[in-house]
Amino acid sequence: MPRNLITDVAGLTVGHADDAHLASGATAIVFDQPAVAAIDVRGGGPGTRETDLLDPAMTVAHIDALALSGGSALGLEAASGVQAWLREQGRGFAVRSALVPIVPGAIVFDLLNGGDKDWGRFPPYRDLGYRAAVAAAREFALGSIGAGLGATTVNLKGGLGSASAVTSAGHVVGALAVVNAAGSVVIGDGPCFWASPWEQEGEYGGRGFPSRLPPGALAPRTKSGVQESTTLAVVATDAALTKAQLKRVAVMAQTGLGRAIHPVHTPLDGDVVFAVATGRKPPPDPLLGLTELGTVAAAALARAIARGVYEATALPFPDALPSWKDRFGS
C-alpha cells in the first residue's frame, strides 16, 4: 500500500497533538464525510464517550470523527476539542438549525508515566483534541506521538501504530492502534513480536517468529498496576457497510489484539475496537466478502500494534521503559 497507514482508506485523515512535559496527547481521526461506525469492547475497564450511539439500534447513523487520548477519564475531553473544530467547519448532525458534531472517543491510562500531570483546574485534553483535529492529514507519524506519546507495555515503551491491506475484491482496509497494553507485544525478553507471522516487508524489524518459544514465554506477565493499561484500535474500510456489518468486523478485528498482545483483555483493561466504513466502494458479498474483510482487518490490526511498539521512543524520565529499538537496535 502507498503509505501502509489507515489513511490508505479513502475518506479519512489523522492528526496528533501532544505535550512532552505532560507525556500525554491526543489523536483525531476525521472523516471527510459522515461515516458509519460500530464498536466492540473486550476490556473490563473501558473509558469511552458517545459509544452507545454506535449500536445498530440507535438513531444516529453516522459519525464525524473519533478522538483517542491519554489521561484516563480526564482525557475524554479530547472529543470536545475535536467537536469544536468540526463546528467551525460547519460539520455535525443537523437538528433544524443546530449542528452537533458526533465524535465518539476512548482513552488510555497514562497518568503514572513520569510526566507532569499537575495541570491545575482543567485538564489540557480539550485543547489537545482541537489541535489534533487541525493537524489531521493523510500522512502522519507513528510511535511515541499523539495518544501514544505516554503509552507503555509491561516491558517496553508503547506507542501508536498503523497498517493497511487490500482484500481480493479490492476493498482497502486500514488499522490504527494506541498500544498501552498491560501485557507484552514481544515474545519473552527477546526482539520477536507475537505478531511476526503477519509482518509485511520488515515493517517491524523482520526478526520473524522463533523456531522454539523461550522458557516462560507463555506465562502471563502484566504491569504491576493492571489499571495502567488499554489498547485502543480503529479499523476502517472504504466499503459501504451497515452498522450491523461493521459490528461483525469489529468483533473479528479483536482477533488482532489476541495475536499481537499477551495477555490481553484483562479485567481492568479498556481495550476497544472501533470499525468504520467510509462507503467509497460498493459493499462486499455479505457472507464471504464480509468474512474476508474482517479477517484482513484483524491481520492489519496485529501489524499496527507491533508497528506502534517498534516505532516508539523512550520517555525522558528516570526509570522510563526502554523502547524496542533501544533494546534491540533497528
CATH number for the domain spanning 248: value is 3.60.70.12
Q: Across-strand partners of 31?
A: 12
Rounded Cα–Cα distance for residues 74 and 291 (Å): 37
Cell of 279: 462507503
pLDDT recorded at residue 164: 98
Question: Is residue 252 domain-resident?
Answer: yes
- Structural domain count of the chain: 1
Rounded Cα–Cα distance for residues 186 and 128 (Å): 31
pLDDT recorded at residue 226: 57
pLDDT recorded at residue 43: 87
Residue 10: C-alpha distances to residues 120, 143, 298 (Å): 40, 23, 19
Residue 330: C-alpha distances to residues 108, 133, 210, 320 (Å): 27, 31, 18, 19
Closest CA to 290 of 303, 272, 280, 277: 277
Question: Is residue 330 domain-resident?
Answer: no
H or E element that contains 141: none
Q: CB of 16 within 8 A of CB of 141?
A: yes
Question: Is residue 327 domain-resident?
Answer: no
Question: Is residue 254 domain-resident?
Answer: yes
Q: Which domain holds residue 173?
A: 6-318
Closest CA to 170 of 239, 222, 267: 239
H or E element that contains 139: none
pLDDT recorded at residue 209: 97
Q: CB of 17 within 8 A of CB of 129?
A: yes
Cβ atoms within 10 Å of 285's Cβ, excluding its own: 11
> Would you mind telling me the total number of residues written for the chain in this entry?
330
Q: Reduced to 3 states, what is the DSSP secondary structure of residue 20?
A: coil
Q: Is the dihedral of CA 69, 45, 53, 169 positive or negative?
A: positive
Question: Is residue 297 domain-resident?
Answer: yes
Cβ atoms within 10 Å of 259's Cβ, excluding its own: 22
Cell of 277: 466504513
Question: Is residue 325 domain-resident?
Answer: no
Question: Is residue 311 domain-resident?
Answer: yes
Mind giving me the DSSP string for 169-231? TS-EEEEEEEE--SSBSBSTTSS-BTTGGG--TTTT------SSPPTTTTS----SSTTS--E
pLDDT recorded at residue 330: 75
Rounded Cα–Cα distance for residues 16 and 88 (Å): 19
Rounded Cα–Cα distance for residues 36 and 34 (Å): 7
Q: CB of 231 within 8 A of CB of 223?
A: no
pLDDT recorded at residue 44: 85
Closest CA to 35 of 283, 281, 278: 278
Question: Is residue 324 domain-resident?
Answer: no
pLDDT recorded at residue 1: 67
Burial of 330 (0-12, 13-18, 19+ CB in 10 A): exposed
pLDDT recorded at residue 266: 87
pLDDT (tens place) for every residue of the chain, 330 residues total:
689 999 999 999 999 999 999 999 999 999 999 999 999 999 888 999 999 999 999 999 999 999 999 999 999 999 999 999 999 999 999 999 999 999 999 999 999 999 999 999 999 999 999 999 999 999 999 999 999 999 999 999 999 999 999 999 999 999 999 999 999 999 999 999 999 999 999 999 999 999 999 999 999 999 886 567 899 999 999 999 999 999 999 999 999 999 999 999 988 788 999 999 999 999 999 999 999 999 999 999 999 999 999 999 999 999 999 999 999 997
State if pTM tops 0.95.
yes
